[in-house]
Structure 1
Amino acid sequence: MKKVLLVAAVAGLAMASCRKDRTCECKDTSDQPGFVSSTTVYTAKKMKKKDAVKMCQSYTSKVTGPVAAQYYYGEDCELK
């Protein structure tokens, strides 16, 4: 009986440690004159690392302006 409880306790701790609060940090960048870059932080509660990476990648974007004003704007995100 003790062995069953020990195995169950170890398995429970192993599963609980997989889900943590994750932080995704995104930096806005642009080559447009006068652009002020900023950093945005997104927090996900109790998320697996694999799912947090996907979430963080979904925030990453790159946009190029119209031909007349060829400026770059991007948001680069990284899991911390």
Structure 2
Amino acid sequence: MVKPLVLLAVGAGLALPNAAHAIGNPASVFCATMGGRSVQAKLPDGGEVGLCDLPGRKIVEAWTLYRMLQGAKPAPNDNPFR
């Protein structure tokens, strides 16, 4: 009787779904790829906007940066934020 219960318990453990892994915000991940850091800014209406603080004190709205460069880091000579 014990053996079937052990097998049932092991089988039940294998059937449980794996824990989900968090996926980063694509704009924030791209910001880091560009050498920047993601920051949140408060808007006057109480909302927030995600910004990318790039090297050289250049700040760009994170999703604008992502869309402008289509999520692909440009070659050093083609980078408008160098």
Question: Does TM, normalized by the shorter one, top 0.5?
Answer: no
Normalising to structure 2: TM-score of the pair? 0.35
- Higher Cα Rg, which structure: 2
Q: What TM-score, normalized to structure 1? A: 0.36
